[in-house]
Amino acid sequence: MAAPRVFVTRIIPDQGLRLIRECCDVDLWMDELPPSRDVLIEHARGVDGLLTLLTDRIDGEVMDAAGAQLKVISNHAVGFDNIDVPAATRRGIPVGNTPGILTDATADFAFALLLAAARRVVEGERYVREGKWKTWGPSLLLGPDVHGATLGLIGFGRIGQAMARRARGFDMRVLYYDPSAPQPEPGLNATASDLETVLSESDFVSLHTPLTPETRGLMNRERIAAMKPTAILINTARGPIVDAGALYEALAEHRIFAAALDVTDPEPIPADSPLLALDNLIVVPHIASASVATRQKMSLMAAKNLIAGLTGEPLPNCVNPEVYQR
């Protein structure tokens, strides 16, 4: 019996890739950049499974190009806004993701961005490299304190709660806005609030909500204007949650102190974006989960989702479980 054919749209860490190769006929996209739309559709033709990344738009056209034998789509990510999940469900295709395992790595990185923006670490490093450091100065690169400050979390799922745990070490007051959040674990000392209160009272606002029609553009001009002029915005969630034009205006006019972004809209951010000219903005290339151990675990989970779908077993992590009730 022939091995199932799968298309893996990018090189993933070796543990997951090795597991897939043990049982599948693998078509692996080797380029650093993702396949173009036409190439994606061409390589999808006739496959039994797809292992995809957030950069791959997987819609009904791709699924139909693959054919009726397509059994599973496994996304190498927690988010799955790149996949038309209802279209997959209508076609009886389970969709997998990789939740849970990147919670701590992402929270670590979000807090690192918070600290770096507050204490102007990137500005300071650039200041030294540009030969500007001539002497110590009492007013050089001053920033706000983190300890004892108020942290506002928009989204209070796994990563939001992990941020709250880290905030305890800095004696921070924690507010959160998330209408769908469960009761927080004991000891987090986090207070549920409305969005306006979180924005107006927080010294740091950190975004941890999924991208949905309701959260797209959530941080618009009005909501950014509700933040303190000394506040810092951190986004490790999804780029389109923040209105890039409104953020630029707020930073350029110093209506908020700074921002730190792991994600942008569009992504990657264009090299000529006016945001990149701002000293009070940190931008990094979507690397919040980029620890060696976390990415290996992600690759294994994505591989196990893929293999389960190919063998007719329920996916260990399935975002559309209703597909099994058809």
Sign of CA dihedral 178, 183, 185, 188: positive
Contacts of 126 (CB under 8 A, 6+ apart): none
Which residue among the candidates 43, 120, 223, 238 is catalytic per the annotation? 238
Residue 267 is a catalytic residue: yes
Pairing of strands 5-8, 204-207: unpaired
* CA dist., res. 269 & res. 205, Å (int): 21
Q: Locate 282 and state its tokens.
A: 């940190």
Considering 129, 286, 295, 326, which one is annotated as catalytic?
Answer: 286
Active-site pick, 267, 295, 313, 326: 267
Q: How far is CA 117 from CA 7, 169, 269, 309, in A?
A: 40, 18, 19, 43
Cis, peptide link before residue 210, omega less than 30° from 0? no
Q: How far is residue 20's CA from residue 48's CA, in Å, rounded to a whole number?
A: 13
Neighbours of 254 (CB within 10 A): 11
Q: In the annotation, is 208 catalytic?
A: no
Instruction: Name the DSSP class of 135.
Output: S
Is 147 catalytic? The answer is no
- For the four alpha carbons of 68, 305, 310 and 308, in that order, the dihedral sign comes to negative
Strand partners, 154: 177, 207
Beta strands in 78-231 (DSSP E): 95-96, 150-154, 173-177, 190-192, 204-207
- CA distance to 70, 81, 197, 318, per residue, from 313 (Å): 14, 24, 46, 11
Nearest residue to 203 via CA among 248, 181, 173, 170: 173
Catalytic residues: 238, 267, 286
